[in-house]
């Protein structure tokens, strides 16, 4: 019988958890390339590559980003072994006011290639996914292709097209240094749905609205395809909508008060999905349950400033227990920038993510093994060396407790190194 951890590792890999983006979250987003192109809230590409800004008022900006992860499981987990995962992104951002005379309108197209290296799915067996760029299979496809139009006063905007929700929802800068997907989008939301939410590596059509109600308060909401792409053909790009797929509806309040930023969000799928415990039984007898959740996320400057100082982040999340692998989630960490003498651009971080097994997950584990794991916990220690302004080298150590919620697996120790590079024109 296939191990529970391997099944979940593969599932999450296919769903693109962050990453991150995701990373999920793991996530695809573009910094302000010119005065005409507005920046999303997270200025990174998949693998958390910081994209360089372009100072000129160019109507068209091209950005390239590369992330490579060399990972080795040296103890515990499902297997021993090493994997090399890499992801290349090409992003074009266009100011349609200058190019086509459409005022206050921006278009973005983001395509990527991923070699499909499987480390969590093929080696460790963890469910939260060690690398925010793990896709589970070779992919060459579009991640985002949208148009955004804003109001004349700059207080509101609407975005339509192929969209990564983790580029703006459930996303803060501080935690993006970390490699593990759990420090991008929370594991409760990132592992939800029939094929994951609309984020790396599988995105769907979406409509996003955003409005700034006060100087410190922004509200945003989105409706996205409830089953991005086609789970039966995961390597194909399928942007069609099916009535049976339903939609993912998500809303978020974003508050900035000096050095403190807080996000509060809620999400839910309009279509019911199978009870996770019923994964192996006949379709006619499966129970259909609702999938929804809430999260609270914050970051703050503790010491110094962004040029040299220490920041902290925390995230709390909850999800419905029959439809999801995890129904409780807590993460937190500390990140320092410019703390090493003579290395003003280096970053260091330590963080922990705890994902509580849902009732359905515990039932499934008990039915297979006669025992259960209450949670999966990931701990990461990392340091990014800024070799140049476009190249980074990031060694890290991760320790995963109860990988894959599989009571038969020992805790896993992972050594890794991440390479990041970014260019713009």
| CATH number of the domain bearing residue 30 | 2.40.160.180
Q: Give phi and psi for 161, each to the nearest 5.
A: 140, -165
Average pLDDT of the chain, as a whole number: 86
Mean pLDDT of 300-329: 94
CA 220, 226, 230, 235 torsion-angle sign: positive
When divided into structural domains, the chain yields a total of 1
Whether 109 contacts 144, CB under 8 Å = yes
Provide the domain limits for residue 50.
4-424
Residues 98-140 have pLDDT tens digits of 999 999 999 999 999 999 999 999 999 999 999 999 999 999 9
> Does the pLDDT at position 43 exceed 90?
no
**Across the strands, what pairs with 88?**
66, 113
User: Average pLDDT for residues 170-182, to the nearest whole number?
Assistant: 94
DSSP character string of 63-128:
EEEEEEEEEEEEEEES--EEEEEEEEEEEEEEEHHHHHS-TTEEEEEEEEEE----SIIIII--SS
Q: What is the pLDDT of residue 393?
A: 97
Q: How confident is the model at residue 22 (pLDDT cuts 50, 70, 90)?
A: very low
Q: At what angle do helices 359-369 and 4-15 cross, to 10 degrees?
A: 140
Read off the pTM.
Answer: 0.86
Query: DSSP secondary-structure letter at 159?
Result: E
Residue with tokens 């992801």: 87
């Amino acid at each position: 019988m296939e191990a529970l951890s391997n099944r979940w590792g593969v599932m999450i890999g296919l769903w693109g958890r962050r990453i991150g983006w995701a990373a999920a979250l793991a996530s695809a987003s573009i910094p302000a390339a010119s005065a005409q192109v507005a920046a999303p809230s997270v200025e990174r590409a998949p693998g958390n590559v910081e994209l360089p800004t372009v100072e000129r008022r160019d109507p068209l900006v091209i950005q390239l980003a590369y992330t490579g992860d060399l990972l080795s499981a040296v103890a515990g987990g499902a297997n021993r072994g090493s994997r090399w995962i890499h992801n290349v992104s090409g992003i074009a951002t266009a100011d349609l006011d200058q190019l086509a005379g459409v005022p206050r309108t921006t278009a973005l197209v983001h395509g990527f290639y991923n070699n499909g290296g499987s480390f969590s799915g093929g080696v460790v067996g963890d469910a939260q996914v060690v690398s925010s760029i793990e896709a589970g299979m070779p992919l060459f496809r579009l991640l985002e292709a949208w148009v955004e139009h804003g109001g004349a006063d700059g207080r509101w905007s609407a975005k339509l097209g192929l969209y990564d929700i983790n580029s703006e929802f459930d996303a803060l800068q501080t935690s993006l240094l970390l490699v593990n997907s759990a420090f991008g989008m929370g594991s409760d939301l990132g592992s939800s749905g029939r094929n994951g939410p609309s984020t790396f590596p599988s995105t769907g059509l979406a409509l996003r609205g955003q409005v700034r109600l006060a100087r410190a308060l922004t509200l945003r909401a989105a409706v996205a395809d409830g089953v991005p792409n086609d789970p039966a053909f995961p390597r194909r790009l399928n942007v069609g909508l099916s009535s049976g797929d339903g939609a993912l509806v998500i809303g978020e309040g974003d508050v900035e008060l000096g050095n403190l930023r807080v996000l509060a969000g809620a999400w839910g799928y309009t279509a019911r999905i199978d009870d996770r415990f019923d994964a192996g039984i006949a379709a006619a007898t499966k129970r259909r349950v609702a999938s929804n959740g809430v999260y609270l996320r914050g970051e703050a400057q503790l010491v110094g400033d962004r040029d040299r100082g220490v920041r902290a982040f925390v995230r709390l999340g909850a999800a419905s227990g029959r439809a999801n692998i995890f129904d409780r989630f807590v993460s937190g960490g500390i990140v320092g920038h410019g703390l090493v003498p003579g290395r003003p651009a280096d970053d260091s971080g330590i963080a922990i993510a705890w994902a509580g097994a849902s009732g359905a997950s515990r039932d499934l584990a008990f039915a297979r093994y006669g025992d259960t794991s209450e949670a999966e916990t990931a701990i990461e220690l990392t340091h990014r060396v800024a070799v140049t302004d476009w190249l980074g080298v990031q060694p890290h150590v991760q320790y995963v407790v109860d990988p894959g919620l599989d009571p038969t697996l020992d805790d896993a120790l992972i050594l890794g190194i991440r390479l990041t590079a970014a260019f713009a024109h």
